[in-house]
Copies of this chain bind each other. A is one copy, B any other.
Amino acid sequence: MKLSDMNKSQLEAMYSEVCAQYDEFKSRGLKLDMSRGKPAADQLNMSNEILNCLSADECKSRSGLDCRNYGVGDGLPEMKELFAELFEMPVENVIVGGNSSLNMMFDCIAQGVSMGFGNGPWAKLDKVKFLCPAPGYDRHFGVTEYFGFELITVDMLPTGPDMDQVEELVKNDASIKGIWCVPKYSNPTGITFSDETVKRLAAMKPAAPDFKIFWDNAYMIHHLNDNNDQLLNIMEEAKKCGNENNIIMFTSTSKITFPGNGIAAMAASDDMIKMLKKRLNYQTIGPDKINQLRHLKLFPNVCELKKHMKRHAEILAPKFDAVIEALTTQLGDLGVIEWTNPNGGYFIGVDLLEGCAKRTAQLCAEGGVVLTPAGATFPYGNDPKDRNIRLSPSFPPVAELKTAMELFCICVKMASLEKYLGK
């Protein structure tokens, strides 16, 4: 029965009941963490072989280069080939970096600020704005907030960013310099951009000549089941409109091998990659080539990589199922929550009744389960309707996750009932 169909005494009775359940939970002194999209220990264990897979004799690259020494600022050709296949881009358009794709994105934004992309440094402008489809990834928003940009919230739809809003915004405002995108198994809603969204993004003619689409394809092969979402190659679409310089693509192996020492990569058009490589020449002595060799040893080709991802899915899928099951059985009838059921990625985004997200997160925290802070999925950490929460099922073991979800559902009920009862 929906809460909206209950009368006051029914609501009060239910509230007493869930409060008692909550108190019982609280007394257990739980300490569970669902706050971040971290792989679990058993996922990491799958890659332990990478730690000691490279003998001293194997430190040479395909071309014979001693990878222990200096050289090769933009990554080993063989490593680029692997990422090129994943990006569906030519090898020449790929740069392989360090262990953090966020770092690569930060550097690109920093380059826009300090040097610009052919139209002067953004630092010289009075105002720089950036489009933030929300709910989205807090660390993306953080980068552009750090540099003092004005963050403009764009609604995230089941098809991707609301393209009517995006097109309208970029059309006349040259101070809007870019947009953050996680196009596949989006963080946190888990959706994949529709073909129409990709085509419209690729075809946009923003007022800013140096507008950039930050295409963070973090979950490109991170499927949970066999119903793989299909994402259109945005670069192919952009080329058709002469817009290929608008796009910078990113990915990493953080959630393939180890988040702490994976390998990040980026890809861009001929012109853009030339500009980005020029910066690299000055920026660094080059990425860790030994770590590239380690990754190539484990994953000589994309086929091996995909096999490995299937094993990740075997660990992750039951966790996602546990979350969906809890939401369905415990909250499904109440009309207080909507959620996504993603085919990949690391998150399930839920929308509660307006004004209930912070209260739910607070109740969870006091009950012993840490969630991603409510609001974190919006620019400036401010969810204007206070209704979105990002659930990250990956890190806790299934048993703990089930307990955490029991508590979460109780907290959602409490917060929703309090809203109805005006408490």
Instruction: State how many angstroms separate the Cβ of A208 from the closest Cβ of chain B.
Output: 17
This chain's copy number in the assembly: 2
Using known A-B contacts A99-B287, A286-B100, A291-B261, determine if residue A70 contacts B124 with beta carbons closer than 8 Å.
no
Residues of B within 8 A of A103 (CB): 283-285
- B67-A260 in contact (CB<8A): yes
Would you list which residues of chain A between 276 and 331 have a CB under 8 Å from chain B?
278-279, 281-291
Q: How far is the CA of A124 from the CA of B122 in the complex (A)?
A: 10
Query: Which one of B52, B54, B142 contacts A55 once the chains associate, using CB atoms below 8 Å?
Result: B52
Residues of B within 8 A of A124 (CB): 123-124
Instruction: State how many angstroms separate the Cβ of A347 from the closest Cβ of chain B.
Output: 15
Instruction: State how many angstroms separate the Cβ of A316 from the closest Cβ of chain B.
Output: 15
Would you list which residues of chain A between 249 and 265 have a CB under 8 Å from chain B?
254, 258-261
Q: How far is the CA of A102 from the CA of B279 in the complex (A)?
A: 13
Residues of B within 8 A of A287 (CB): 99
Chain A, interface size category, equals 35 or more
Does any Cβ of B come within 8 Å of A127's Cβ? no
Does any Cβ of B come within 8 Å of A121's Cβ? yes
Does any Cβ of B come within 8 Å of A56's Cβ? yes
- B99-A110 in contact (CB<8A): no
Q: Which residue of B lies closest to A289 (CB)?
A: B260
Would you list which residues of chain A between 99 and 115 have a CB under 8 Å from chain B?
99-100, 102-103, 106, 110, 113-115
Q: How far is the CA of A124 from the CA of B120 in the complex (A)?
A: 11
- B288-A102 in contact (CB<8A): no
Residues of B within 8 A of A259 (CB): 68-70, 285
Does any Cβ of B come within 8 Å of A375's Cβ? no
Which of the 9-residue segments A6-14, A41-49, A163-171, A333-341 touches chain B?
A: A41-49
- A102-B285 in contact (CB<8A): yes
Instruction: State how many angstroms separate the Cβ of A91 from the closest Cβ of chain B.
Output: 21
Residues of B within 8 A of A205 (CB): none
Residue with the greatest number of chain B CB neighbours at <10 A, chosen from A48, A71, A285: A285
- A70-B289 in contact (CB<8A): no
Instruction: State how many angstroms separate the Cβ of A244 from the closest Cβ of chain B.
Output: 25
Residues of B within 8 A of A143 (CB): 282-283
Residues of B within 8 A of A139 (CB): 282, 285
Does any Cβ of B come within 8 Å of A380's Cβ? no
Using known A-B contacts A68-B261, A123-B123, A285-B259, determine if residue A147 contacts B114 with beta carbons closer than 8 Å.
yes
Does any Cβ of B come within 8 Å of A160's Cβ? no
Does any Cβ of B come within 8 Å of A59's Cβ? yes
Does any Cβ of B come within 8 Å of A51's Cβ? yes
Q: Which residue of B lies closest to A44 (CB)?
A: B68
Does any Cβ of B come within 8 Å of A129's Cβ? no
Closest 3 CB pairs of A and B: A123-B123, A48-B56, A68-B258
26 contacts between A and B (CB under 8 A): A38-B69, A51-B52, A51-B290, A52-B52, A52-B54, A68-B260, A68-B261, A70-B259, A71-B260, A99-B285, A100-B284, A100-B285, A102-B283, A102-B284, A102-B285, A103-B284, A106-B282, A110-B114, A113-B114, A115-B147, A123-B124, A146-B282, A259-B285, A260-B289, A261-B290, A261-B291
With A51-B55, A69-B260, A99-B288 given, name 5 new contacts (CB 8 A): A45-B56, A69-B259, A70-B260, A143-B283, A261-B291
